[in-house]
Amino acid sequence: MATQAFNNPALEQGFTETWLKAFQAFQNLDLGGMAPPTGTADATPLRFANEKLMKIQQDYVREASELWNQTLQDNPQLADRRFKGDAWGKNPMAAFTAAVYLLNARTMMSMAEAAEGDAKTRNRVRFAVEQWLAASAPSNFLAFNAEAQQKAIATQGESLAKGVKNMLQDMRQGHVSMTDESLFEVGRNVATTEGAVVFENELFQLIEYKPLTAKVHERPFLLVPPCINKFYILDLQPENSLIRYAVSQGMRTFVVSWRNPDQTLAQKTWDDYIEDAAIQAIHTVQDITGAKQINALGFCVGGTILTTALAVLAARGEKPVSAVTLLTTLVDFTDTGILDVFIDEAMVKFREMQMGKGGMLKGQDLATTFSFLRPNDLVWNYVVGNYLKGETPPPFDLLYWNSDSTNLPGPFYAWYLRNTYLENNLVKPGKAKVCGQKVDLGKLDMPFYIYGSREDHIVPIGGAYASTQTIPGKKRFMMGASGHIAGVINPPAAKKRSHWVRNDGKFPASVDEWIAGAQETPGSWWDDWAAWLKSHAGKQIAAPKDYGKPRSKYKASEPAPGSYVKAKA
């Protein structure tokens, strides 16, 4: 009889009408308020092929029937990790609620995949559906979360009291805690590689690190991290610090530590960051070391800034950098992955009107957007643990760094949005004008080491690989396993993950073709990169005994990691 209840034409018709109405509502969502309205109402209306709808409908009715029949005999089996605790399996109502949610979630995502329309609209609907499903999970609500209820009973309400305390604390600090932030301090147990600040201006401090070898390569090494994060992602702990690793390889190492902007920098532009930061840092390292050429690395947006600066210098007839490393960097913004759902002409105009002439993009707004790219892992997981269960998240240096957000000057941000994500002007020779020069990446004929992470959701592997089609000189492309951060921060001693490389010097048009001819090697890619960097670093000379340049303006002013990195957004 239970099965017959689902074999009802009226029920099937109601199913179709209900889900279609839900999806038409999703078409005009503003992505949960994380971005301003983006004009999706003018996009191509969603359509659904009848045969796809019929298949989804039949699958739903069949699975609902199976679920009902299974529930009459035993509690449903829940594979989703949000419902893996014993309390879910032992509570019939909770198990059934979770199982129905998972069935509806699969159906909604099937509808999202079946929708027909222009690509951007389909991606936005898919993203909106994912956000709604993540937020509406029964595990997020005390009334439905069997584990939280069980813990409240076992602790006689103490877990709920701690949860309220945690929530009030997070409200005061302005973000959901992902780790116990009280256990970390920049300069004490993160960002501890020994060094000193040898130059600063209003945009950045330049840090030089103490050599760990008796000799160093004659070409110094400059790292340009992203200005949307703190630089110490490259120097979390001694055992996983890319900065310390570079120093241990005999590189005289410098890093740009960006200032966390306040209202005094609200007028700063992309040109300012290129001229007065990236180019200034390059010339300062040259002045300090006396080197005619240096080597440089750019990470994420830092790579975009570095590449733009080198193009400006090339237009001026300068070539101060011998070899370049780009880590998870977009230069060609054709493939920007999930971030594309936020970008269109209306959104960029909104930001230009809002802050294009001055203003500040708050660091927490940017951090929240990035967290919602992985809502279950980086948002709701902590809502449940911190508030419903009253738990204190365990100490984790990476998540401490992730919560240490940075602001961005509005004019800088507005230029970046239009000229990269929206119009992709950097790869169009002469289209973008920076610091009075027309940008032409075709003039960057120095060797490049280009790295991309296979599961990166911020810089998709195809987007990272696209640089090989734009940069004209000799290149080496490396693909690492994992994502935007874990793929990069993968020291050899950990013996984790894998990397892929091709030694035939071929760079086909698509990354899939490249991968098809690549060879997988277990472990970190760092040693491969170090060997490449050494081949472009020149002969070895005696390591300097002092920071900066004796008897000059480039003297150690304070120990690393400096004061700029400690400023909170």
Residues 406, 260: Cα–Cα separation, whole Å: 6
Residues 463, 337: Cα–Cα separation, whole Å: 8
Contact between 408 and 273 under an 8 Å Cβ cutoff? The reply is no
Residues 330, 338: Cα–Cα separation, whole Å: 14
Q: Rg (Cα) of the chain, in Å, rounded?
A: 26
Residues 422, 417: Cα–Cα separation, whole Å: 6
Q: What percent of the residues of the chain are helix, what percent strand, and what percent coil, each to the nearest 5? A: 50, 15, 35
State the catalytic residues.
300
The candidate with the shortest Cα–Cα distance to 394, out of 210, 182, 211, is: 182
Residues 273, 234: Cα–Cα separation, whole Å: 20
Angle at the Cα of 274 (from 268 to 280), degrees rounded to 5?
110
Count of beta carbons in the 10 Å neighbourhood of residue 399: 19
Non-local CB neighbours of 545 within 8 Å, separated by 6+ positions: none
DSSP structure string for 175-200: S--SS-GGG--BTTTBS---EEEEEE
Q: Which helix (H) or strand (E) holds 87?
A: helix 86-90
Beta strand 558-559 with 253-258: parallel, antiparallel or unpaired?
A: unpaired
The candidate with the shortest Cα–Cα distance to 106, out of 144, 53, 60, is: 60
In the chain the first and final C-alpha atoms are separated, in Å, by: 61
| Cα separation values, 39 from 29, 158, 171, 349, Å | 10, 47, 32, 11
The candidate with the shortest Cα–Cα distance to 389, out of 80, 131, 137, 141, is: 141
With H, G, I as helix, E, B as strand and everything else as coil, classify residue 294.
strand
Residues 251, 520: Cα–Cα separation, whole Å: 28
Q: Which helix (H) or strand (E) holds 209?
A: strand 204-209
Count of beta carbons in the 10 Å neighbourhood of residue 214: 9
Extract the tokens encoding 512. 């899939």
